[in-house]
Amino acid sequence: MCEGCGRGSHMSSFSSAKDPAHGDSSMAKVVANLPFNISTDVVKQLLPMGDIFSEVSVICSVLCHPYNPFQEEAALRFVDSSLKSSDHRPINVFVNFYSDPEYKLKEPRSNFFPQPKVDAAVVAFKLKQPADYPNVSSLKSFFSRVNSAFNGKRKMLRKSLNHICPSTDIEAALSALNLPPTSRPEELTLENFVKLHNLIDRYVNKITIVD
């Protein structure tokens, strides 16, 4: 999973150019027609760039709503994944961390040439500003732990995260959040993951100091 994305000198220059100090505070918009096989990877790169882009648009552009085409089934998983569902995955946590996603409409395969084997869909990602991101002590460790939490089919968090700190500490952190010690990753909301990460950090730092 992408925790952020590297920015070349051209992006740094662009970011400076849009700064109010340079006389232009407007946000940029990305417009692209993305192949199905790279849509997810491109979205992972663009969603953390809410300080530069207000929209990532494909097919049509609506103010403050970035768009990208996906296979319809994948699009539904992005925005409709319910807790306690096998479709709830790390990408759902990532997408909601950086944006507010919304399923917009179905695009029949007949609208494309050459015609693909599946229908497409339009998903709207309203990018969050960095100041509005959930408060985590480290983006890198947060997304690393989210990925670890989902490793292994239907593993309890006290098992999938016990390489970070003892299972008893994981259970204590879950209890502090009023979650059962047998909690599984698909049962946690984004807010739950953020709070769990920060609590585990306290345990890890305490262990480090003692050692």
> What is the SS3 string spanning 110-134?
HHCCCCCCCCEEEEEEEECCHHHCC
Rounded to whole angstroms, the Cα distance separating 132 from 54 reads 14
- Ligand-binding site membership of 33 (annotated): yes
Q: Which of 46, 191, 14 is nearest to 125 (CA)?
A: 46
Q: 3-state class of 70 per DSSP?
A: strand
CA–CA separation, 150 and 174 (whole Å): 16
> What tokens were used for 35?
């192949």
Tell whether residue 11 is among the known ligand binding residues: no
Element (H, E) at 57: strand 53-57
Query: In whole angstroms, what is the distance from residue 43 CA to residue 95 CA?
Result: 9
**Beta-strand pair 28-31/53-57:** parallel
Q: List residues forming the annotated binding site for S-adenosyl-L-methionine.
A: 1, 33
The annotation places the binding site at 1, 33
